[in-house]
Amino acid sequence: MAIFSIARGKNYWQIVARYPHCDLVRKDDKKQIINWLMKLKGIAFNHAQRTTDKLIELAHLAYPVVSCSDIEVQQAKYYAQRLLNLSNQRQRIITKMVKLAKTLPNHDLENLESIPGFAQTTAVRVLAELGDLRRFSNPNKINAFIGIDPGRYQSGEMESNLSITNHGNAVACKLLYRAIGQIDNAAKTNPCHIADYYESKKLSSQTKGFKKIAIASIHKLIRTIYALIINDQPYDYNVATHNQKDFSRN
């Protein structure tokens, strides 16, 4: 929907819950909509004004096939509110997970949060899925636990069979896959050797097989996570790039 360009996440679904039909937008005047939007998190006056203008524009362009009192509109409102409730429940669970992680006799959570692009939510979810990484004797065993086929992983080389297998922890795999994108985005202001590798492989790739490049990047991320946990140290870009050069020479 066009409204995605001006509202995302919880704010988007709160707008859908309040205005699931164009006639509901038309019933409120501009000032009412602006004042309501400003009650949402992160929306100041200018943002609220732009969003209101867009809502009104879309409301006048729409040609609904049902009235605002029909069951379909009520269902849209119900499901939007259901998503909001689930989002709030998820946040409460994440908060409990963070509180529990901070009571552990180590700095695992803080060390993972130090990786560029690793927000606290990502860090605590990775810890929850992988558990205590000290039980693994090397990073390759973490690969097997997650379900990533190591293929050929030497000096950044990748064979065509590099893939995600059908066994392993699919949730952890998805988390780490998404984390590569987060790390790459964060690298614009906070450099990371994993983002360097990902971008260099994309530029040098003869095909559009970015998924395989992301999987290879997950290998580097797993090695990094393992090193931070085992050595109980935060991420340092200079140390990581130095170690990467030593690894490549070996």
Domain-by-domain residue ranges, the chain?
2-90, 106-249
Please write the tens of the pLDDT for every residue from 11-57.
999 999 999 999 999 999 999 999 999 999 889 999 999 999 999 99
Residue-wise DSSP of 197-241: HHHHHHHH-SS--HHHHHHHHHHHHHHHHHHHHHHT----HHHHH
| Average pLDDT over all residues of the chain | 86
Q: pTM of the full predicted structure?
A: 0.75
Please write the tens of the pLDDT for every residue from 32-44.
999 999 999 889 9
Name the burial class of residue 248, with classes exposed (0-12), middle (13-18) and buried (19+) by CB atoms within 10 angstroms of its CB.
exposed
Q: Which two tokens stand for residue 233?
A: 């140290």
Comparing 224 with 248, the larger pLDDT belongs to 224
For residue 248, pLDDT over 70 is answered with no
The pLDDT assigned to 166 comes to 58
Give bridge partners of residue 148 from the DSSP assignment. Answer: 164
| CB 169, CB 203: distance < 8 Å | no
pLDDT band at 2 (very low <50, low <70, confident <90, very high): low
